[in-house]
Structure 1
Amino acid sequence: MLRLVSCVAMIAASISTAAGQNDHRTWKEYGGGPDNSKFVDLNQITKANVNKLTVAWEYPTRDAEPYLFNPIVVGNVMYVLARGNSLVALDATTGREIWIHAHLPGIGTRGISFWESKDHKDQRLIFQINHYIEEIDARTGKSILTFGDRGLVDLREGLSRAPETVTRIRSNTPGRVFENLIIMGSATGESYMSPPGDLRAYNVITGKMAWVFHTIPHPGEPGYETWPKDAWKYIGGTNTWGEITLDEKSGILYFPTGSPTYDMYGADRTGKNLYGDCLLAINARTGTLIWYFQDIHHDLWDYDLTSAPQLISIRHNGKEIQAVAQAGKDGFLYVFDRYTGKPVWPIEERLVPQSDVPGEHSWPTQPFPTAPPPFARQTLTANDIDPYLMTPEERAIWKKRVAGDNNQGLFTPPSATKETVEMPGARGGSNWGTTAANPDKGLVYVLTQDWPSFIPKVAERSLPRAGGQYGASATGKQIFTENCQSCHGTNRQGSAVAPALTDLFLKLNLDDFEQILKSGKGEMPAFSGLSSSNAEALYSWLVNPDNQHPQRPGASAAAISLDGPVVASGGAPGGLSTAGNPNAEAQKYGGNFAGPPYPKGVTAPPRMYSDYGLDFPYVVSPPWSSIVAYDLNSGTIKWKEPLGDDQVAAREGAKDSGVEEGGERRGIIVTSTGLLFVNCKDGKVRAFDAETGKVLWTTDLTTGTEGIPAMYEVNGREYLVVPASSPLKLGLGPNGAQTNPGTKQGYMVFALPN
């Protein structure tokens, strides 16, 4: 383990207790509170009456956008994202619209942050939009123009890159508020020359940067020696695009960081690559590093840490320990003393397979926790091939394929000579939203999925010509077939890894569509090599492939109704116009993972490429997703249960299959009355007994669900709100996911009968 220890002994003396320690009785922040535990100390809904929950009210989003938004509730007001990426304030007991700030394309989709002054007179909603931070008055819904420059703080400024070269930096996950600071991570993209994932804090009132922590160390900073000497000038990533946890009592922030870029090949970043794939403990007031642990050295698998670190109190060897538990994509749960960084159970460095790719220097060892046991499968052999969704002939082909792959267990590096098996895969294990805890009891809950990656051979490829990958005469169908079809389906119907594009004309106009191509969004990489004419050709074909829709390319989504209490539209001045201008510099270089040349004076090996290989989630046998309960007083798994039911597999005889993609992009609510509420891609919400894993209540939503639910109490009545606006996933098969759009999209709110 690597960690800093110089200031550990002085933590208690140097960091004072912060006011307003989370009492777990409100849901004012993403994840329920600063500790991101998703734990609520409310006692109205119990194991005895949970089966009486009924719909109290619903709020339709009135568009076709799949919102992954975690609602927050302040007093009697709920804030949601709906109606064409508009922020909406609702009465939390009835769903009545209070105000609408309309048309915020590019807003971070997972949630927003809330801040209020000590006298409660100044209340602000803080969010990321395109390249900026912006604030809205929580009471009026209007932009706060005294924040930053006319209401905007440019996240491209202050990085070790020229701002005009930064094509992606905003994260969909909201920042974390501490005192008068808003602390931000970022989503940098995965291409060569992506921007660095610096962690930054800004003053809530002025927008001025208060501190920055370089996740790729600059000369003279600790960790600089774990990179080539100029790496800080050209390596990107090592960012917190997931969830930030705050220990308000000590003033310590816990950041999970992701892989350096480029993900699958690291010859230009030899070394351990601190602070990639780390859990960082940082002083919230100063940005000073207190300790760190790196769970993946020189990552070649995209095994980002992204789920919320969980703060718990445990009894271990007769002593009480204030601990932090971090779940990874690799299927391990890492547990540390939260103040010193010392592992609660030993973590061993073990030899792992080495790379055969020219120029690559994979790290010889990787950390393996001795306890607790893994929550996900970490190997895939021919005996693990799924028996339900393939014909006998297909199964025989896959068994032969897996047996012949580069498949040496966990941490098998990508190969230059053959396909590589990665398990649990780049979209396996724990992802954002998928961890929760009962803090005082030392119980941690993890949603997980087994989704193998079949990584193609790593190889060189020539960069596309200047001016874009295609000439001006390229057709939209050609561009779609070569770049988009493998994920979005032959008929634009969507797949297990990407949404349908059949209703694109209702979701995006041309400007917004082109911005996503340049910057990427969510799991989608940037295709910056497409010129503006290429983007328009692609958009035209997508919205009207067979003359189905009369809308012209670039038309606004006219189906979105903006009646009601609209108080503002478009955000702070400059936000929309800047978002709509594609970066001309980015068009010169190849699409997908290619980027600009290395800076002048940097000597680096030829760039090589591969792919995440996520096209075959059905290959492994079920369960495809599970919920796992840990008792970290003993370091053991308390119980593990499948999450959801795949209807396609069930028709073939599968039981307790779990749902593919059920273990990510959604969350868990833990209650003091011993319940776990979990939403699932199969369009259901379930209440589990937190002690046994038994399902005590299930209800159907109107459609599929993504994002984190919330629980709150107003006027003595307790409510559960669930975002339900995604396609309903019926099942998974070799030809892609079988989905249904559902009956209507919206937020569904449950309560016990009056």
Structure 2
Amino acid sequence: MAKSAFALLPFAASLLLASPSDQHRTWSDYGGGHDQSKFTTLSQITRENVTDLEIAWMYPTGDERSYQFNPVVAHGVMYVLAKENSLVAIDLDTGKEIWIHAHLSGISRRGISYWESEDGSDRRLLFTLNNTLQAIDARTGKSILSFGDNGMVDLRRNMLRDPATVYRATSSTPGRVFENLIILGSSPGEGYLSGPGHIRAYDVVTGEFMWRFNTIPQPGDYGYETWPKEAYRYVGGVNVWGEMSVDEARGIVFLPLGSPSYDFYGADRLGENLFGNCLVALDARTGRRLWHFQTVHHDLWDYDLVSAPQLITVERDGERIDAVAAASKQGFLFVFNRETGEPIFPIEEKPFPASDMPGEEAWPTQPVPALPPYARQIMTEDDITPVLITPAERAHWQERVAKARKGLYVPPSLDEVVSLPGAVGGVNWGNSAAHPEDGIVYLLNQDFPSFYKLAKRQPVRLRNRAGDSDEETAAAKLRGEKLYATYCGACHGPDRAGSDVGPSLLAVGSQINQTQVARSIMYGSGRMPALPHFTDEQIDDVYTYLDDGVSPYASLFAAAQKEDLPEGPVVASGGAPLPDEEAFAGGFRFNRGENDYPPGVDAPADRYFTDYGLGHPYIITPPWSTILAYDLNKGVIKWRQPLGQDRDAAAAGMTGTGVPRGSQRMGMIVTDTGLVFSTAKDGHVYAFDADNGKVLWKGALPMGAEGLPAMYEHNGRQYLVIPASTPLTWGLKSRESGIGSTEEKGHGGYVAFALPAQN
């Protein structure tokens, strides 16, 4: 297949799409449209003919990267991310690339935002690139230099902190466009003293800063009294790193806000901590708070709200109510009147266990809705799986779980605590959809426990080697190389290029800073266990070995100057033209070691840490992942089905298992013809009957799928497009068998399914 075209079947005559403002007939924005329902009124694919779906075309990504990108379609053009992080515009009539904007290293990975003027003369793609907001002309692919300061907006500013201390001001999830505004969240990190997650809006034409909602209240703000009085100076998080939804008719944006940092120990943030873990409704034009509800008080479990709030109309007691439904990691669905914030179903404050940690004060109650939970919320020794582990291992895990503290909202402790759902359990990004007018919400759920155990750690203090001699640096690199070979190479690869279970470390220095490396070594990260026996000097040596020797912003400048452009109609590279690197950095620095509290703050003397405890996906009995439908007219779970089939479990004789895989990076599309399409972690896309959950069709993909699918109509033909470029990893099986294999079924790309073409 030619690299510059995807067409496997001939295209018919051109027919422009309907107006992108018709959000349920087009896919002109991330998640389909403003309301993020992933719902379409396109009617060609039905229950009766879905089994006839076949691959109509495929556009290869042209590299070995795993893309989570949700394609956007407008005016007969599809926009995708491919070819070493390049934005590509594809003509849907010819299958040919119209333009390529190359080397956008650091672009928001999950998607972009589309905007056009009322007369359609101005069409823009808006995206975050590292710590900047930029715009590209959707027709030409070139940066719009009248936007912001010569084509970019510096997102480290307008955060109520010194910009030089704001390390991460963007999110992998794109912003939400409303009228002439783009509303942005961020991913500031989850460590002690990370950046704040204030929500900001910018003019899509000029890049002008328009408004900010302070997610961590400042003195005089509503909610300020729910924190220690100086907390606004140092607390981080309380951010939208997931998906916002907009009620376009009412001009309301709904924010699913995350946890305050540090996630698992909050002695420096005693109180309820508004607006942490809140669903917040704002006036989208001004940022003024209309109402809020806090789903977790003083969060100690990393129970962020992440997935898109679903805007639905429900019928209760003969009255039709416009509502908003927010799904949580902990397995609860909260439903409110969209305008007033009044709960549609009762929510009761119930008591939960106190914390036994020094200085900690867990909030004594938590809100529990009357709706049935969709996730398992406690794990006992009886829940240890009988498959994929040996009898000896099963006995080990049964004993370990029996000794652990467990149950919903049991605070992390110096003793082991098993939380179910864990940090990536329940519903995550991309995992909610709806039939808006029928009051049905669809969710993807993952039952994945976390094993937490807090330990006191001193802040890591690392040297600044800027003044070291060449001999001293060489000696440190040699020591670091030996440590890496002993402790790191098995997972991250002997050449640091990564493996099935460990990411590449080739970008340490330019994209992964010294503090992040130190935290991962000392406290663990995901599957990676902590290495607490490492001294500060050893951590410093490992970092010196890994450091690529360039500044945190070097990747921006290197991308702009790359000469190895991808094949095809490249019109630009690297985004907006960059100023002098030192001028752009503006005094920016990565702090070497843990941050310190601001002067004058009465901070706790000790810091406690735990990893996410996610190294054991197969320990709990299946199903590990499920898809379900809530009928919110009746307040019941209408149906539930396992999502996908684990290969190793099938070999052991088990079916209907789902697939356990880290965070739930999958997505759905709901059709008005009674179908729910969903990707799964087993290399397939499924079509479920929306009425009863029966599997009606299963389509094979060349590789695994991450990110949201898209659906659109062109030339009278309806297409389902899946981003499929992720190797299939079947994970940890047992201590005896070790790490499972990675299965690459083919070359990655964007795969489109359609009914057979009519001649």
Is TM-score (shorter-chain normalized) higher than 0.5? Answer: yes
- Paired letter, 1:538: L
| Cα distance in 2 for residues equivalent to 1:427 and 1:489 | 25
Residue of 563, 566, 571 corresponding to 2:570: 566
Cα deviation 1:549-608 (Å, max 9, x = unaligned)? xxxxx999999861210000011022895799798742422xxxxx31111111110222
- In structure 2, what is the equivalent of residue 721 of structure 1? 721
| Cα distance in 2 for residues equivalent to 1:691 and 1:266 | 44
| Cα distance in 1 for residues equivalent to 2:109 and 2:515 | 14
SS state at 2:405 partner: coil
Shift of 1:531: 9.7
Shift of 1:480: 4.5
SS state at 2:296 partner: coil
- In structure 2, what is the equivalent of residue 187 of structure 1? 187
- 1:423 is aligned to 2:423: no
Cα deviation 1:412-436 (Å, max 9, x = unaligned)? 10012x1111111001000000000
Residues 213 and 710 of structure 1: is their aligned pair in 2 closer, same or farther, counting only changes over 3 Å? same
| Cα distance in 1 for residues equivalent to 2:156 and 2:494 | 36
SS state at 1:287 partner: coil
- In structure 2, what is the equivalent of residue 411 of structure 1? 409
Residues 687 and 125 of structure 1: is their aligned pair in 2 closer, same or farther, counting only changes over 3 Å? same
Cα deviation 1:25-82 (Å, max 9, x = unaligned)? 0000100000000001001011111111111111111111100000000011000000
| Cα distance in 1 for residues equivalent to 2:354 and 2:510 | 45
SS state at 1:677 partner: strand
Alignment of 1:112-127 (within 5 A): 112-127=112-127
- In structure 2, what is the equivalent of residue 616 of structure 1? 616
SS state at 1:649 partner: helix
- In structure 2, what is the equivalent of residue 743 of structure 1? 746
What TM-score comes out, normalization by structure 2 length? 0.88
| Cα distance in 2 for residues equivalent to 1:485 and 1:374 | 42
Residues 480 and 73 of structure 1: is their aligned pair in 2 closer, same or farther, counting only changes over 3 Å? farther
Residue of 545, 549, 556 corresponding to 1:537: 545
Cα deviation 1:352-381 (Å, max 9, x = unaligned)? 01111101111001111111x111111000
Residues 455 and 556 of structure 1: is their aligned pair in 2 closer, same or farther, counting only changes over 3 Å? farther
| Cα distance in 2 for residues equivalent to 1:575 and 1:379 | 53
Shift of 1:635: 0.6
Cα deviation 1:493-530 (Å, max 9, x = unaligned)? 9788x5554xx77xx697456699689999899x9999
- In structure 1, what is the equivalent of residue 640 of structure 2? 640
Shift of 1:318: 1.6
Cα deviation 1:600-637 (Å, max 9, x = unaligned)? 11111022222211111111110110001111100100
Shift of 1:641: 0.4
Shift of 1:738: 3.1
SS state at 2:704 partner: coil
- 1:79 is aligned to 2:82: no
Cα deviation 1:711-750 (Å, max 9, x = unaligned)? 0001211111100011113455133453223310111111
SS state at 1:115 partner: strand
| Cα distance in 1 for residues equivalent to 2:567 and 2:753 | 26
- In structure 1, what is the equivalent of residue 389 of structure 2? 390
| Cα distance in 2 for residues equivalent to 1:385 and 1:40 | 40
Contact 2:442–2:629, Cα closer than 8 Å, also in 1: yes
Residues 737 and 248 of structure 1: is their aligned pair in 2 closer, same or farther, counting only changes over 3 Å? farther
The percentage of aligned residue pairs carrying the same residue is: 52
Alignment of 1:472-483 (within 5 A): 472=473, 473-474=476-477, 475-477=479-481, 480=484
Residues 583 and 652 of structure 1: is their aligned pair in 2 closer, same or farther, counting only changes over 3 Å? farther
Shift of 1:213: 0.4
- 1:322 is aligned to 2:322: yes
SS state at 1:393 partner: helix
- In structure 1, what is the equivalent of residue 131 of structure 2? 131
Shift of 1:203: 0.7
Contact 2:427–2:664, Cα closer than 8 Å, also in 1: yes
- Paired letter, 2:756: P
Alignment of 1:37-116 (within 5 A): 37-116=37-116
Contact 1:728–1:741, Cα closer than 8 Å, also in 2: yes
Contact 1:515–1:582, Cα closer than 8 Å, also in 2: no
| Cα distance in 2 for residues equivalent to 1:224 and 1:678 | 41
- Paired letter, 1:600: P
Residues 317 and 181 of structure 1: is their aligned pair in 2 closer, same or farther, counting only changes over 3 Å? same
Alignment of 1:395-474 (within 5 A): 395-407=394-406, 409-416=407-414, 418-467=415-464, 472=473, 473-474=476-477
| Cα distance in 2 for residues equivalent to 1:178 and 1:692 | 35
- Superposition CA RMSD, Å: 3.2
How many residues are aligned here? 711
- 1:380 is aligned to 2:379: yes
Contact 1:192–1:262, Cα closer than 8 Å, also in 2: yes
| Cα distance in 1 for residues equivalent to 2:318 and 2:538 | 61
Contact 2:515–2:592, Cα closer than 8 Å, also in 1: no
Contact 2:456–2:608, Cα closer than 8 Å, also in 1: yes
Contact 1:514–1:582, Cα closer than 8 Å, also in 2: no
Residues 688 and 342 of structure 1: is their aligned pair in 2 closer, same or farther, counting only changes over 3 Å? same
- In structure 1, what is the equivalent of residue 4 of structure 2? none
Contact 1:136–1:144, Cα closer than 8 Å, also in 2: yes
SS state at 2:218 partner: coil
Residues 264 and 662 of structure 1: is their aligned pair in 2 closer, same or farther, counting only changes over 3 Å? closer
Residues 580 and 489 of structure 1: is their aligned pair in 2 closer, same or farther, counting only changes over 3 Å? farther
- 1:285 is aligned to 2:289: no
Contact 1:447–1:663, Cα closer than 8 Å, also in 2: no
Alignment of 1:588-607 (within 5 A): 588-589=592-593, 595-606=594-605, 607=607
Cα deviation 1:457-491 (Å, max 9, x = unaligned)? 33233432343899840445456479867975899
Residues 509 and 87 of structure 1: is their aligned pair in 2 closer, same or farther, counting only changes over 3 Å? farther
Shift of 1:540: 7.6
SS state at 2:618 partner: helix
- Paired letter, 2:361: H
Contact 2:256–2:278, Cα closer than 8 Å, also in 1: yes
In terms of mean alpha carbon deviation, does 740-749 or 376-385 score higher? 740-749
SS state at 1:353 partner: coil
- In structure 2, what is the equivalent of residue 694 of structure 1? 694
Residues 345 and 210 of structure 1: is their aligned pair in 2 closer, same or farther, counting only changes over 3 Å? same
| Cα distance in 2 for residues equivalent to 1:481 and 1:260 | 36
- In structure 1, what is the equivalent of residue 144 of structure 2? 144
Alignment of 1:125-524 (within 5 A): 125-371=125-371, 373-407=372-406, 409-416=407-414, 418-467=415-464, 472=473, 473-474=476-477, 475-477=479-481, 480=484, 500-501=503-504, 511-512=510-511
| Cα distance in 2 for residues equivalent to 1:99 and 1:556 | 17
| Cα distance in 1 for residues equivalent to 2:741 and 2:423 | 22
SS state at 1:164 partner: helix
Gapped regions of structure 2 (runs ≥ 5): 1-18, 550-557
Shift of 1:537: 2.3
- Paired letter, 1:69: F
Contact 2:165–2:588, Cα closer than 8 Å, also in 1: no
| Cα distance in 2 for residues equivalent to 1:151 and 1:440 | 40
- Paired letter, 1:412: V
In terms of mean alpha carbon deviation, does 452-461 or 251-260 score higher? 452-461
Residues 49 and 439 of structure 1: is their aligned pair in 2 closer, same or farther, counting only changes over 3 Å? same
- Paired letter, 1:376: A
Contact 1:307–1:431, Cα closer than 8 Å, also in 2: yes
